[in-house]
Amino acid sequence: MCFNPVHYLALLERKPGAIDYARPLEDWPLPETLQLLRRRLEGQFDYKGTREFVKVLRLLERHGMSDLVCAVEKALEIGALSFDGVRVILEGLKEAPAKLFCLEGRLHLSQVYVASPDVSAYGSLTPQAAPVALLEGGQA
């Protein structure tokens, strides 16, 4: 009988202590990066670290193993040892970088003028209200 380990991760999240004894996970070759993350999480958070690790594995329900390994490598590199840290990195890997907005061919936009905002009211929010001239870029 062949088991898909990903199908059992939701159950393991409720009973993380069974991760070492779950038959569907017996022959699941996890990459060394994921094993390192597990050791660090369990070393830092004990049994809660195991639960956190299972949450990280559950990201496989929506993402591929290679993407998850890449995100975990980055998380280990920057010290973001949590499910949320790995998830944010993983989602960031999927984002397309923002394109620069170019005014070429848009002559009608080059005529637009936007006045600088009045920021004098922000000075009243500080404990010792700064002079308005400093906030507006003037000299004291």
Task: Tell me the HSE value of 30 on the side-chain side, using a 13 A CA sphere.
Answer: 22
What is the structure's pLDDT at 33?
96
Provide mean pLDDT across the span 116-123: 87
Buried-state track 3-40, b at ≥16 Cβ within 10 A, e below 16: eebeebbeebbeebeebeebebbeeeeeeebbeebbeb
Provide mean pLDDT across the span 16-36: 88
Two structure tokens written together for 19: 């991760």
CA dist 136 and 34 (Å) reads 52
pTM of the model: 0.67
What are the helix (H) ranges across the chain?
9-14, 32-45, 47-58, 65-78, 83-94, 107-110, 132-135
Provide mean pLDDT across the span 61-89: 95
Q: How confident is the model at residue 94 (pLDDT cuts 50, 70, 90)?
A: confident
For residue 8, pLDDT over 80 is answered with yes
Q: In whole numbers, what is the pLDDT of the chain averaged over residues? A: 86
Provide mean pLDDT across the span 71-79: 95
The ranges assigned to domains in the chain are 5-94
